[in-house]
Amino acid sequence: MLAVLAPGQGSQKPGFLTPWLELPGAEARLRWWSALAGLDLVHLGTEADADEIKDTARTQPLLVAAALLAAEHLPMYDVGVVAGHSIGEVAAAALAEVLSPEAAITFAAVRGREMAAACALEPTGMSAVLGGDADEVLAAIEAAGLYPANRNGAGQVVAAGALASLEKLAAEPPAKARLISLSVAGAFHTPYMAPAEQALGALAGGITTGTPSRILLSNRDGAAVDHGPTMLQRLVRQVTAPVRWDLCMQTLAEIGVTAIIELPPAGTLAGLAKRALKGIEIITVNTPDDLAAARDAIARHGAAPSFEPSPQFHVVVVTAAGTFTPADGLAEGVDLRAGQVIGHVTTRQGAVEVTAHEAGTLTEWLAHPDDPVAPGQPVARIGGLL
C-alpha cells in the first residue's frame, strides 16, 4: 500500500514552483486558483522572496496549490492513503475528494488570513523541542504555560504560546533536550487561534463535501475519517488542536504502508518518516523530474486498476485501532439507515462507535466479533448491485 503526503507550513522555498510552470496547463491552473485565493500564486511560487512567502496568509494557499498541482500529474486512482501535516491536511482532503480543488484553495486562503489576524492579537510564537524523554518534555511544556502544538514523532515536539512562556522554557529546558526558536507568526494549533476557528466554522457551512475515495488520515488522532462532513469539521477545529503527526505515522505503519510519496515542497515529512518508519520506500517530489519515480512507486506499491464490471457498494471503515464488536442483532441482509451504529471498536481509551454514513443493505460483514482492526480497515459492506 502507498501513501501520498502533503507538507505543512515552513516547507516552502523561494521559486519552488518555477519548474512546474513548464508543464502544459500548469500556469493557467495556478491563475484560476489565484483568483479564488485573492493572491498571485504564480508570483509567490516563482519570484517572491523568503520573507514574502513566510507570511501565513500567503503561504497556506500556496502550499495547498503546490500539492494539488503536482498530484494532478500522478495516477491518484491507484493511491490507497493520503494525509497532510497542518495546512497539508486541507490538500489531503482534496486528494481524497472530500473537498473540490476550488473549495480547498478557498478554505486555505481564508484559513491563512484568519490565522494571521489571530497571530496579530498578542505576541506568541513556537519553539521546536528536540530530544529528551517524551513525558518530561510534555511536562516541561505544560509547566511553562505552553501547549504541545505539534507532536511530530522522532523525538520532535513543538511548543507554542506566549513569548514570555517560551523564554521560560528556553531558560529551563527538559533534560537532554534542545530548543530551536521557530520563525513563525504566532502560536498555531493552540487556543490562541480561536478567532480563526470561528471564522472557518462560518465558512464551512457553505461547503459541500464528498465521501473519501481513499483512506484519509486525520491530524487530530491519526484516525481514518470516512465521512466528508466529519472531515470538514475536523479541518475547522484543527487550527486550535495539536497536530498529532506521530499518530498519523503510527497508523501508516499499522495499516501496512510500504511506500510514501511527499508532494512539493517535499523533504520535511520524508525526514520524519525515515526516522520513524523503517524499511519503507520514500519518494520526494520537488520538480516534474521527480514524477517518473513517483509513478513507478505507485505502480509497484499501489492498487492495480481493474476494468472488470464491479458491484456498486460502499464499505464502512473503522477510525481507530482495537477490537471490533458488531451491534447486537445485526445480520447480513438487514436494511440500515444513515447514521445507524453498527458496532464499536474497543480501544485503550474506551469504545469508539462505528457508524453507517449511508443507508442500504448490510450485504456482508468484513470483520467479526473480537477481530483486531486498524484505522481505515473495512468492517462491513453496504449496498449491492445497482
Active site residue 189: yes
Annotation marks residue 43 as catalytic: no
CA–CA distance from 93 to each of 74, 80, 201, 355 (Å)? 16, 13, 16, 20
Which of 11, 127, 165, 189 is catalytic? The answer is: 189
Number of H helices, E strands in the chain: 13, 17
**Residues 6 or more apart whose Cβ sits within 8 Å of residue 297:** 2, 259, 261, 281, 283
Q: Give the C-alpha separation, 53 to 344, whole Å.
A: 45
**Which residue type occupies 43?**
H
For residues 145 and 105, the answer to whether their CB atoms sit within 8 Å is no
Alpha-carbon gap, residue 79 to 159, rounded angstroms? 33
Identity (one letter) of the amino acid at 56?
Answer: T
Q: How many residues does the chain have?
A: 386
Residue tagged active-site, from 86, 127, 165, 218: 86
Compute the distance between CA of residue 43 and CA of residue 309 in angstroms, rounded to an integer. Answer: 46
Q: In what order do the strands lie in the sheet with 259-262?
A: 215-216, 81-84, 2-6, 259-262, 281-284
User: Could you give the C-alpha distances from 166 to 151, 192, 193, 257, in angstroms and in order?
Assistant: 17, 14, 17, 37
Distance (Å, whole) CA 372 – CA 325: 10
CA dihedral sign, ordered 37, 43, 46, 48: negative
The secondary structure element, H or E, covering residue 21 is none
Report the DSSP pairing between strands 81-84 and 215-216.
parallel
Residues annotated as catalytic (active site), given as ranges? 86, 189
